[in-house]
């Protein structure tokens, strides 16, 4: 391809699945539909979002859409942008390079290494608040029960993990109920639950290049490969060696045993976070190059291609061969010797991509989100060796709550897992337990980003 042809390529964004406010009919989009650019030049798509979608424009504006006022928190978190994609009201001078969303909070990194976050207050650390940039936005009544009740229970009950899933939903209801009660007893409930965009306070000289948002926790990655985290850590998802229920300011997470981490690692070992035979084990690599947050677990990749996971382990999503929680970053030893390049995490599952273009998956699999051809959970990483991925090299991968999607190096898209809302883009609402190709005519896929009920695709097409 010559230079003139390269210049003639236009970046497009496609979406499918369920975005309540994206269409007046509020019907799921079962196949890819092009998102109107509305005068923007698309730059990338961003993962996450429960009831809303996010993407980046070329000037570095964060573009949101798809929200509706009966989805409670997400309506405020997304900037009240419904059918038409619009810039989220961050300070005008900032240029966003990475962004991520969870159920009810968002985080974004700027080109100068700063971090902004907003949404559910318990997910937001202390920092400088830019409330004036969201003037006129107020939270509607708290209605998170709608979001929680969406999950179909009939399928979940088929697996061992199903009863736990039901328990998780009950637990969340109790937490939501207490939050709602607190809001109702306050003179201003909206202020209790919702935080305006906040410039996160980090140590002097720390420059953030990547961000990840979990259920109620956040990880950010610096330009020198250090990981910082904050939010809820009750299952160890903040990797600090204990069940810290709430971390209200960014803390450095000890991922690799080096001079700066040795004290923390020693403390973790003393607490029994690693087995006796692993105490002399040195994690390959000198810094972290990629991060991912699941619902209540986290995963990172070192510059040597090793994977570390930590947090909730009930479905095996930490890849340790057990269902124990991991309170400190723990090497997924069965992947040693395979150079891992990418990682993504869903509500209960984790997927990794290797330098050879292969996919490894582990964790919960109630809806086929691992892509192994069954609904059985995997407590150790399993190579996806299905026919649909033969002779395919994976370029990027993303996890929704219970579905997964990837883009290959030759511009194809595959998806699998939960499909109640058409989030697989295959023209129906049937779950898949093996990767299936998504048809997107006339363009080449470049990146994919999964939300709770939807999927976004960045593609290129001749103008």
Helix (H, G, I), strand (E, B) or coil at 382: strand
CA distance linking residue 307 with residue 255, whole number of Å: 10
CA distance linking residue 112 with residue 97, whole number of Å: 9
Quote the number of domains for the chain.
1
- The tokens of 364 are what? 């919960």
In percent, how much of the chain has pLDDT > 70? Answer: 77
CA angle, corner 61, sides to 60 and 62, nearest 5?
A: 120
- The tokens of 11 are what? 């970046």
- Does 332 map to a domain? yes
What pLDDT, in 10s, does the model give residues 368-410? 999 999 999 999 999 999 999 998 999 999 999 999 999 999 9
Position 73 scores a pLDDT of: 67
Instruction: Give me the sign of the Cα torsion angle 22, 25, 30, 32.
Output: negative
- Does 139 map to a domain? no
Would you place residue 279 in the very low, low, confident or very high pLDDT band (cuts 50, 70, 90)? very low
CA angle, corner 404, sides to 9 and 145, nearest 5?
A: 115
In percent, how much of the chain has pLDDT > 90? Answer: 64
Position 463 scores a pLDDT of: 65
Provide the total of helices (H) and of strands (E) in the chain, helices listed first. 7, 29
pLDDT-wise least confident of 24-33, 150-159, 256-265, 373-382: 150-159
- Does 387 map to a domain? yes
- Domain coverage including residue 227: 11-127+194-258+282-460
- Does 242 map to a domain? yes
Position 398 scores a pLDDT of: 98
Position 415 scores a pLDDT of: 98
What pLDDT, in 10s, does the model give residues 291-301? 999 999 999 99
Position 106 scores a pLDDT of: 96
* CATH for 392: 2.130.10.30
Position 193 scores a pLDDT of: 63
Position 399 scores a pLDDT of: 98
Q: What is the largest CA-CA distance in the chain?
A: 65
Which residues does residue 255 pair with via DSSP β-bridges, in sequence order? none
How much is the average pLDDT of 208-212? 98
What pLDDT, in 10s, does the model give residues 291-349? 999 999 999 999 999 999 999 999 999 999 999 999 999 999 999 999 999 999 999 99
pTM of the predicted model over 0.85: no
- Does 5 map to a domain? no
Position 127 scores a pLDDT of: 67
- Does 48 map to a domain? yes
Give the helix/strand (H/E) hosting 269. Answer: helix 262-270
- Does 167 map to a domain? no
Listing DSSP states for 23-34 in one string gives STT---EEEEEE
Q: Is the pLDDT at 16 greater than 70, yes or no? A: yes
Would you place residue 218 in the very low, low, confident or very high pLDDT band (cuts 50, 70, 90)? very high
Give the helix/strand (H/E) hosting 45. Answer: strand 42-46
Position 72 scores a pLDDT of: 66
CA distance linking residue 353 with residue 70, whole number of Å: 37
- Does 138 map to a domain? no
Residues with Cβ within 8 Å of 338's Cβ and at least 6 positions away in sequence, in order, are 305, 354, 356, 358, 360
pLDDT-wise least confident of 35-39, 153-157, 186-190: 153-157
What pLDDT, in 10s, does the model give residues 354-364? 999 999 999 99
């Amino acid at each position: 391809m010559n230079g003139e042809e390269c210049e003639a390529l236009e970046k497009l964004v496609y979406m499918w699945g369920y975005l309540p406010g994206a269409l007046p009919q509020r019907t799921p989009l079962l196949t890819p539909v092009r998102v109107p650019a509305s005068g923007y030049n698309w730059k990338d798509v961003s993962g996450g979002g429960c009831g809303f979608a996010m993407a980046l424009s070329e000037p570095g504006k964060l573009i949101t859409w798809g929200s509706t006022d009966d989805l409670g928190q997400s309506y405020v978190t997304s900037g009240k942008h419904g059918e038409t994609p619009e810039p989220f009201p961050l300070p005008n001078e900032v240029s966003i390079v990475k962004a991520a969303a969870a159920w009810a909070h968002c985080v974004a990194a700027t080109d100068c290494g700063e971090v902004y976050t907003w949404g559910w207050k318990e997910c937001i650390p202390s920092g400088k608040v830019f409330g004036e940039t969201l003037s006129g936005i107020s939270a509607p009544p708290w209605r998170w029960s709608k979001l929680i009740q969406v999950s179909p229970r009939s399928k979940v009950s088929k697996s061992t993990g199903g009863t736990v899933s039901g328990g998780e939903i009950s637990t969340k209801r109790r937490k939501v109920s207490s939050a709602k009660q607190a809001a109702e007893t306050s003179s201003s409930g909206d202020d209790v639950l919702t935080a305006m965009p906040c410039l996160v306070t980090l140590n002097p000289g720390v420059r953030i290049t990547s961000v990840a948002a979990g259920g109620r926790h956040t990880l950010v990655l610096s330009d020198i490969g250090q990981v910082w985290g904050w939010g809820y850590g009750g299952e160890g998802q903040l990797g600090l060696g204990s069940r810290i229920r709430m971390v209200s300011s960014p803390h450095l997470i000890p991922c690799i045993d080096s001079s700066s981490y040795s004290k923390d690692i020693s403390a973790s070992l003393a607490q029994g976070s690693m087995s006796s035979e692993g105490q002399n084990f040195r994690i390959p690599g000198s810094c972290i190059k990629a991060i991912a947050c699941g619902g209540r677990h986290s995963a990172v990749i070192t510059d040597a291609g090793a994977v570390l996971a930590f947090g909730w382990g009930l479905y095996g999503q930490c890849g340790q061969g057990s269902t124990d929680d991991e309170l400190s970053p723990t090497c997924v030893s069965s992947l040693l010797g395979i150079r891992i390049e990418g990682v993504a995490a869903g509500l209960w599952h984790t997927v990794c991509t290797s330098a050879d273009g292969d996919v490894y998956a582990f964790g919960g699999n109630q809806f086929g989100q691992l892509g192994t051809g069954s609904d059985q959970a995997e407590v150790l990483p399993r190579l996806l060796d299905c026919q649909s991925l033969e002779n395919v090299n994976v370029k990027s991968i993303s996890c929704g709550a219970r579905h997964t999607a990837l883009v290959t190096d030759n511009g194809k898209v595959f998806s699998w897992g939960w499909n109640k809302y058409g989030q697989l883009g295959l023209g129906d609402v049937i779950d898949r337990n093996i990767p299936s190709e998504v048809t997107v005519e006339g363009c080449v896929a470049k990146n994919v980003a999964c939300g709770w009920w939807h999927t976004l695709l960045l593609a290129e097409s001749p103008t």
